[in-house]
Amino acid sequence: MKTITHWIGGKPVEGTSGRFGPVYNPATGAQEKQIAFATVDEVDAAVATARAAFESWGRSSLAKRTAVLFKFRELLDAHRDEIAELITAEHGKVHSDALGEVARGLEIVELACGISEKLKGELSTQVSTRVDVASIRQPLGVVAGITPFNFPAMVPMWMFPIAIATGNTFVLKPSEKDPSASFRLAELLAEAGLPDGVFNIVQGDKVAVDRLLEHPDVAAVSFVGSTPIAKYIQLKAVEHDKRVQALGGAKNHMLVLPDADLDFAADQAINAAYGSAGERCMAVSVVVAVGDTGDELVAKIAERAKNLRIGPGDDPASEMGPLITREHRDKVASYVTSAAEQGAEVVVDGTGYSVEGHENGFFIGVSLLDKVPVTADAYKDEIFGPVLCVVRAETYDDAIKLINSSRWGNGTAIFTRDGGAARRFQLEVQAGMVGVNVPIPVPVGYHSFGGWKDSLFGDLHIYGNDGVAFYTQGKVITTRWPDPADGGINLGFPSNS
């Protein structure tokens, strides 16, 4: 059985702990690989390697850094199908969805390729006689990323390209459930010419996570995952004097007003609720139907839901694949059962679903719950599966009050033809990312991703300008000089190397 190892100092490093975790193919339910869990000493070795590499990488020119990133971007583009296949094999999402994940990660790599624009700094001349003041940004040192299973390539690429471009070195702890994609990214970075030690991977569990949070040479930690773990990451990191950005869970609401195009809204609800089997922090998990739209909208969603093609992610005919583990599949199914017991109407029941020839796979069908009480567990909890709740609201004001009462504030959307209502919604709703007739408003790479309330712990969002600020620290320099002397003659062509 193949063992997935660590990546330290530009090469694979075998684990020594003797502890391993299973890596399954969710479509078959079979364990196909195992992952070596890191010891504290192995985490320390990765951090020490990154620390040593920072001595030169942190002082390297922007030209050198961006040359590596441009080459990495070229290699990533050439190998996107291969990486998508690794994602499908270990996560289960359909190949087209995995390709989309790689493409969104590629956006951040492209942003990092233009890092020189983000690091130009500021200069004020002659603030006093012969006195100038400049503001610059410099790297932190060794930074770490702890990433989830649902986007094993994209979320790491939300972090390390900007961290590396700004002069930091990086230690990644990917999900132990689907680690191969990030390992392949490490190989491509090495092929692109990234110096040894600038990017490292430690595989593992809580042992590795806690050591990264405690290690005195780790300056900052980025995290994406569930809200309880995000809270833990923030408290533990701050306790050890680290900068932290920890993105937590969500319960994203999609508000549908009576004037909306209900066919369009139903299509988008299907896409946003059931894409990637609902294993997205930006998935729509609640539709709020306003006024008399509910019955017609639910009927349209149900009609579409019943016709979705569910199967292995490597089957081109499949529109939705399995969930990541058997345990998670069973937990998602339990929410459908409890919702019925707690007063919801089960319009489409996806529990008990199986795929012929893949009976041992971690498959579940899509579920649609209508008239869900706000006291039901299916409404209150982040399910992270293909379960869509519909709640009813008499008016827009009732709907906005409902949405804003949620403890999460990651993403939300409104569907309407009324520009005034849309403008009011985007100003009044308490969420970090808002869509107007866009159900999953994930920002493009040059804007930042992040929510409010229990969806974000820390002050800065991820990637975009916030990402650059997170991985750098400001410095202000005040100078006074006499008139410049003659610098001599040099007829050579100036170079930025």
Length of the chain in residues, anyone?
497
List the structure tokens of 358: 């893949």
- The order of strands in the sheet holding 131-139 is 122-128, 131-139, 472-480
Identify the active-site residue in 140, 281, 364, 399: 281
| Listed residue (403, 448, 454, 470) closest to 248, CA to CA | 454
Contact residues for 356 (Cβ-Cβ < 8 A; gap 6+): none
CA distance readout (Å), 383 to 160, 203, 250, 289: 29, 26, 9, 20
281 is an active site residue: yes
Alpha-carbon gap, residue 167 to 162, rounded angstroms: 9
Alpha-carbon gap, residue 124 to 126, rounded angstroms: 7
**Residue that the structure tokens 């923030």 belong to:** 234
Letter string b/e over residues 360-372, b meaning 16 or more CB atoms within 10 A of that residue's CB: ebbbbbbbbbbbb
Contact residues for 447 (Cβ-Cβ < 8 A; gap 6+): 464, 465
* Sequential DSSP letters for 188-254: HHHHTTPPTTSEEE---SHHHHHHHHH-TTEEEEEEES-HHHHHHHHHHHHHTT-EEEEE----EEE
3-state secondary structure of 202: coil
Torsion angle of alpha carbons 40, 45, 51, 54, nearest 10°?
A: -130
Check if the beta carbon of residue 426 is closer than 8 Å to that of residue 434: yes
Helices (H), 79-124: 80-91, 95-113, 115-118
Please count the CA atoms within 13 angstroms of the CA of 86 that sit on its side-chain side.
22
Q: What is the DSSP letter of 349?
A: -
**Tally of CB atoms within 10 A around 466:** 19
Give helix 95-113 / helix 80-91 axis angle, nearest 10°.
Answer: 130
Check if the beta carbon of residue 368 is closer than 8 Å to that of residue 348: yes
Catalytic residues: 281
